[in-house]
């Protein structure tokens, strides 16, 4: 179909004037009858890639989706546009389900959405055989892969449906790495599929990581985030307890807050979700159970108060912000100690072979899940893993029609071990993202894309790193600073990638803790050479060297997820040898009035973000100027300067370029672009 005809069909059937990145390529492949595996993040317009072809093709397009709420929304939207569509799932009244199957059998539908459990229904298969299918679409396709972060056994039945229908297949997901995409193609028996990974450029989203040290820091940062960008928003917690605590915090802060987690009844969860969608709640505190299939376009922020277990989960949840195209922020409140919670989940969800065998024997002896958990001992991770094993083995025994406890456990122990390894790798990658100092969008794109790069590579410019929030401007080093940098790099090199930041810093400051002395680390030449800086400043210096890619963090083979050792890069080795003198954003002797203290001013509703007080009239002129610049450059206003920088400018009233550079948020690039205009406004 030519470009003009397809554009006209898009406008006529959906009222949309232009395709988004990747949509045209996916639609062309579906119309041509080619198999497709497409990774397009939340909000990138995946549904249009199969809905428009379904309208244009003969026969019915079958869409398998686990998201009943999303099915209803999409069917309602399609029927409102005059497209014959229906959903079939177990929560429907029997009469409605039978009517939908009659419409399907009569060939009167263009799209039929089904939940994966309906694949076991004889009535559905008879209706489908009568109606005839032209395409099979698998939404949330990562659920079919045991290597995915959200594997669902019911999805394995889709392979049988594909063999039954013998029609082209299009598999869509927001989160699939190259390994998962390969498994999707294998499970669905796809033939030379178009592999498309695109849509990661969402310039209205600011991805940010706030490195914090305590629960109180999280509260401060969350208050500042809400004050900065407004509501509505979502705060994700890792546990029910965390969700309840954050909901209480938000309520005390004066917000209309709801909570959503597995400990609530289905009725309670539904009511909270409806209140949030209807605007009766400002913010919702939730576990990752909330959000799948929820389409609320005006979410202004998504905050992760706890570390997610994978980049897949993080980006799927973060992508729920800003679907209306207006500026939104996705902030991870990162405390390295949060890694331990995810390690607990890993242990609990990946029982060892010994646990599987022990629990299998206990099941054969008639033990209940409660008894198995009690017998596992005091370690919480082992207890959780034992319960996981019991539930898994009961289902496996039932499927295999074998008695509990007879022979070897009905589980592929090698495959379970591989799953545990991949889960650890996913957590390790999530921690690297949190520690990372490169472009956030590019990190995520590289993680998902592999060799399947569709469309332009992301040119972010809107994450915290690209905006300069996480990285100071580099400058020339004094002779003393250059010597300190070379000593630090030499220390990293001499410790040969065996230790993390804490231990390397202890060696450099000459610490006498047993972990240093027992290993003989006090005998290396750089021991104590940076004693005058103190432990915290040396750790900051190592962070600066990592920012500058002179030092890299490396995961430990077979080690604890999130544990890193430091090693020298090739560039770092050249600096250590004195061949290169870099420009670096060196740490200061005392922490300056940084973002944390400034944000407390924002939280308290004060404009006093520097040593002076912002002039309201001047601040308003700066905002008007910023609005004009943003429109001219076609970017969100905060990409020009965030509110806190404008407030700092209005308070400090810099008179020349050097004074402008002293204001946080005005680096060399911003000075070159806007310096003259700012000085004229501030005069």
Task: Convert the pLDDT of each residue in 506-518 to its tens digit.
Answer: 999 999 999 899 9
∠ CA 325-326-328, rounded to 5°: 110
How much is the average pLDDT of 63-85?
88
Least trusted range by pLDDT, from 192-201, 263-272, 539-548, 659-668 = 659-668
Separation in Å, CA 192 to CA 33, 182, 186, 188, 544: 12, 11, 11, 12, 46
pLDDT band at 244 (very low <50, low <70, confident <90, very high): very high
How much is the average pLDDT of 49-62?
93
Task: Convert the pLDDT of each residue in 457-486 to its tens digit.
Answer: 555 788 888 887 765 567 888 999 999 999
> CA 283 to CA 219: how far, in whole Å?
15
Best CATH choice for the domain 479-576 from the list 1.10.10.10, 1.10.540.10, 3.40.50.300, 3.10.20.90: 1.10.10.10
Residue 576 has pLDDT above 80, yes or no: yes
3-197 matches 205-334+436-448 in fold: yes
Query: In 457-592, which ranges are continuous DSSP H helix?
Result: 479-494, 501-509, 514-517, 535-547, 570-576
**Sign, CA torsion 629/635/636/642:** negative
List, as own/partner pairs, every contact residues 402-409 make where C-beta atoms lie below 8 angstroms and the sequence separation is at least 24, other chains included.
Answer: 403/364, 404/360, 404/363, 404/364, 405/360, 405/361, 405/362, 405/363, 405/364, 405/365, 406/364, 408/360, 409/356, 409/357, 409/359, 409/360
pLDDT band at 636 (very low <50, low <70, confident <90, very high): low
Element of type H or E holding 63:
strand 60-64
Query: Would you state the structure tokens that stand for residue 91, as one six-digit string?
Result: 């929560």
Query: Would you state the structure tokens that stand for residue 36, as one six-digit string?
Result: 């497709």
Separation in Å, CA 76 to CA 54, 70, 87, 113, 633: 16, 10, 10, 12, 38
Residue spans of the domains in the chain: they are 3-197, 205-334+436-448, 341-425, 479-576, 595-682
Show Cβ contacts of residue 553 under 8 Å, excluding neighbours closer than 6 positions: 432, 435, 546, 564, 565, 566
How much is the average pLDDT of 610-614?
50
Q: Pick the residue with more confidence: 635 or 226?
A: 226
Residue 87: what pLDDT? 93
pLDDT band at 603 (very low <50, low <70, confident <90, very high): very low
Show Cβ contacts of residue 305 under 8 Å, excluding neighbours closer than 6 positions: 218, 222, 235, 236, 237, 242, 246, 333
Superfamily of domain 205-334+436-448: P-loop containing nucleotide triphosphate hydrolases (3.40.50.300)
Q: Pick the residue with more confidence: 438 or 301?
A: 301
> CA 74 to CA 125: how far, in whole Å?
22
pLDDT band at 249 (very low <50, low <70, confident <90, very high): very high
pLDDT band at 558 (very low <50, low <70, confident <90, very high): low
pLDDT band at 594 (very low <50, low <70, confident <90, very high): very low
Least trusted range by pLDDT, from 153-162, 373-382, 527-536 = 153-162
pTM of the model: 0.71
Radius of gyration, alpha carbons of the chain: 28
DSSP character at residue 364: H
Contact between 302 and 275 under an 8 Å Cβ cutoff? The reply is no
At residue 175, the 3 state secondary structure works out as coil
pLDDT band at 324 (very low <50, low <70, confident <90, very high): confident
595-682: CATH number? 1.10.150.80
Residue 600 has pLDDT above 50, yes or no: no
For residue 379, say if its preceding peptide bond is cis, omega within 30 degrees of 0.
no
Q: May I ask the CATH architecture of the domain 3-197? A: 3-Layer(aba) Sandwich (3.40)
* Beta-bridge mates of residue 208: 331
């Amino acid at each position: 179909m030519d470009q003009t005809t397809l554009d006209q069909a898009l406008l006529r059937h959906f009222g949309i004037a232009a395709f988004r990145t990747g949509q045209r390529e996916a639609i062309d492949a579906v119309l041509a009858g080619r198999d497709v595996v497409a990774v397009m993040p939340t909000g990138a317009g995946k549904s249009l890639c199969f809905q428009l072809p379904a309208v244009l093709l003969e026969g019915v397009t079958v869409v398998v989706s686990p998201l009943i709420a999303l099915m209803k929304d999409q069917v309602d939207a399609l029927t409102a546009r005059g497209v014959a569509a229906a959903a079939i799932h177990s929560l429907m009244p029997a009469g409605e389900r039978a009517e939908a199957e009659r419409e399907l059998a009569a060939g009167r539908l263009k799209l039929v959405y089904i939940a994966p459990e309906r694949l076991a229904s004889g009535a559905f298969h008879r209706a489908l055989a009568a109606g005839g299918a032209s395409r099979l679409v698998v939404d949330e396709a990562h659920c079919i892969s045991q290597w995915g972060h959200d594997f669902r056994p019911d999805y394995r039945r889709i392979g049988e449906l594909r063999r039954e229908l013998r029609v082209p297949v299009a598999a869509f997901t927001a989160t699939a790495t190259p390994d998962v995409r390969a498994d999707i193609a294998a499970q669905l028996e796809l033939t030379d599929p178009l592999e498309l990974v695109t849509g990661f450029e969402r310039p209205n989203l600011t991805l940010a990581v706030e490195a914090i040290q305590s629960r109180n820091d999280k509260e401060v940062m969350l208050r500042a985030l809400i004050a900065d960008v407004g509501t509505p928003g979502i705060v994700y917690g890792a546990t029910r307890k965390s969700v309840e605590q954050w909901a209480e915090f938000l309520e005390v802060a004066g917000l209309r807050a709801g909570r959503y987690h597995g400990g609530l009844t289905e009725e309670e969860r539904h009511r909270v979700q409806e209140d949030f969608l209807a605007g009766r709640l400002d913010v919702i505190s939730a576990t990752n159970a909330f959000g799948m299939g929820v389409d609320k376009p005006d979410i202004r922020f998504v905050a992760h108060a706890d570390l997610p277990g994978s980049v897949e989960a993080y980006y799927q949840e973060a992508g729920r912000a800003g679907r209306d195209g207006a500026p939104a922020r996705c902030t991870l409140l990162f405390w390295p100690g949060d890694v331990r919670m995810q390690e607990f989940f890993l242990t609990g969800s990946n029982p060892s072979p010994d646990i599987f065998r022990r629990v299998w024997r206990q099941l054969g002896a008639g033990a209940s899940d409660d008894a198995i958990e009690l017998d596992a001992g005091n370690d919480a991770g082992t207890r959780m893993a034992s319960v996981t094993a019991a539930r898994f083995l009961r289902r496996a025994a039932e499927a295999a029609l074998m008695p509990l406890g007879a022979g070897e456990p009905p589980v592929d122990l090698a495959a379970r071990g591989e799953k545990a390894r991949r889960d650890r790798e996913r957590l390790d990658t999530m921690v690297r993202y949190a520690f990372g100092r490169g472009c956030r969008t590019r990190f995520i794109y590289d993680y998902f894309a592999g060799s399947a790069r569709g469309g332009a590579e992301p040119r972010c410019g809107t994450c915290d790193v690209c905006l300069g929030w996480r990285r100071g401007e580099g400058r020339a080093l004094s002779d003393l600073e250059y010597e300190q940098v070379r000593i630090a790099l030499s220390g990293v090199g001499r410790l040969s990638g065996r230790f993390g930041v804490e231990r390397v810093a202890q060696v450099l400051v000459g610490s006498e803790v047993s972990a240093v002395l027992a290993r003989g680390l006090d005998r290396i030449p750089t021991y104590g050479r940076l004693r005058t800086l103190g432990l915290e400043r040396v750790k900051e210096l190592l962070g600066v060297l990592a920012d500058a890619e002179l030092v890299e963090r490396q995961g430990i083979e077979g080690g604890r997820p999130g544990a890193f050792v430091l090693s020298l890069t090739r560039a770092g080795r050249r600096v250590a040898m004195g061949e290169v003198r870099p420009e670096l954003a060196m740490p200061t002797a005392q922490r300056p009035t940084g973002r944390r203290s400034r944000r407390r001013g924002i939280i308290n509703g004060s404009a006093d973000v520097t040593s002076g007080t912002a002039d309201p009239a001047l601040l308003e002129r700066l905002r008007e100027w910023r609005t004009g610049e943003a429109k001219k450059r076609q970017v969100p206003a905060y990409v020009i300067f965030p509110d806190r920088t404008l407030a700092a400018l209005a308070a400090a009233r810099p008179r020349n370029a050097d004074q402008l550079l002293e204001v946080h948020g005005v680096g060399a690039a911003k000075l070159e672009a806007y310096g003259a205009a700012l000085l004229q406004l501030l005069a």
